[in-house]
Amino acid sequence: HRLLLRLVLPDGAENVATALECIDMLLVRRREYKTETAAAFVKRLLLVTPHLPPHCGLATLACARDLIQRYPGTQQLLDSTEDRTMTATYAVEEDAPDKCNALSSSAWELVALSAHYHPVVASSATAAAAGERLSLVDKPARLMREFDASDGGFNPPIRLPAKHPLASKVAKGKTHIVIPKPPLTASRMVRASEAEVADKQDVGAGRKMLFAQYAREATRFALQSELLALRRTLARHAEWRAARKPAAAAANGSGGKAKATATKRKRGGGGGGGEPRAKA
């Protein structure tokens, strides 16, 4: 019961035949277990069936149907849970089959399998949900061999659709099919008006988007213009300072020379006036 969940692994399909043979020897040939145990195996088989290849799913579904026939008490799984009074809840993760309360659930997986893409799987699930008995030839091993498609293709092969009655005439060019337009009813008028409103809303949204894009572009252009004007102002200021440096240096040089000459003259005049006083 615990290892059945491993059948959904990528390499689990190789062990389906062995697992079903063990279940057959344990529960079908030897009816020594309780109804709760058989119901737990039925639920676990139905749980892994949708995840298996079609031929393996057919085999597990046939095994589950065989268990339902061998243990009549498990047929309440085919009834709706609304028509029964349940005192427990089905524990799907419980590995012990006698503790998972499988009879508190229903075989709802058959409803999903009845819409299977494989027609044989869908028909078998529908028959199981209706309570039909499994035929003697529908054994799991035979179903796996008969519907095995591991070599490629689809088993059974997909039937080609029937030809249209006018297909031959169209091929010969003897007829011209004209598909008339349906009349404009009230419902179509309502749908047309709704489509027009939706188009107008789309146009309004597009205009808002264009306006927002224009506003972003205008803001970016204004910022770039201000940045360019600031760069030009800084460049002119740098040129003005560069042109002013030589003039300032020349002015400082001439002023220094004049000051030095005046200082010398002052010192020379003071020395000449001191000598006569010394002689006197």
pLDDT tens by residue, 78-133? 887 666 666 688 898 888 998 899 888 889 999 999 999 999 999 999 999 998 88
Q: Does residue 223 lie in a domain region?
A: no
Q: Does residue 73 lie in a domain region?
A: yes
What integer pLDDT is reported at residue 34 of this predicted model?
87
Q: Does residue 124 lie in a domain region?
A: yes
Name the band, by pLDDT with cuts 50, 70 and 90, for residue 57. Answer: very high
Q: Does residue 268 lie in a domain region?
A: no
Residue 104 phi, psi dihedral angles, 5° rounding: -85, 0
- Are 61 and 74 in contact by the 8 Å Cβ rule? The answer is no
Task: Give the angle subtended at the CA of 222 by the CAs of 216 and 228, to the nearest 5°.
Answer: 135
15/151: higher pLDDT: 15
Q: Does residue 94 lie in a domain region?
A: yes
What confidence tens digit (pLDDT) does each residue in 4-29 have? Answer: 999 988 888 889 999 999 998 989 88
Q: Does residue 252 lie in a domain region?
A: no
Task: Give alpha helix (H) positions in 24-166.
Answer: 35-48, 54-70, 109-113, 119-129, 140-146
Q: How many domains would you assign to the chain?
A: 1
The number of angstroms, rounded, from the C-alpha of 67 to the middle of its chain's C-alpha atoms is: 39
Q: Summarize the confidence of residues 135-161 as an average pLDDT.
A: 83
Please tell me the pTM assigned to this model: 0.56
Q: Report whether pLDDT(277) > 50.
A: no
Which one, of 70, 68, 48, lies nearest residue 60 by Cα? 48
Tokens 């062995």 belong to residue? 18
Q: Does residue 109 lie in a domain region?
A: yes
Q: Does residue 93 lie in a domain region?
A: yes
Residue 170 structure tokens: 């169209």
CA-derived radius of gyration, the chain: 49
Q: Which domain holds residue 87?
A: 3-146
CA distance 65 to 71: 10
CA distance 163 to 265: 131
What integer pLDDT is reported at residue 109 of this predicted model?
92
Tokens 């031929």 belong to residue? 55
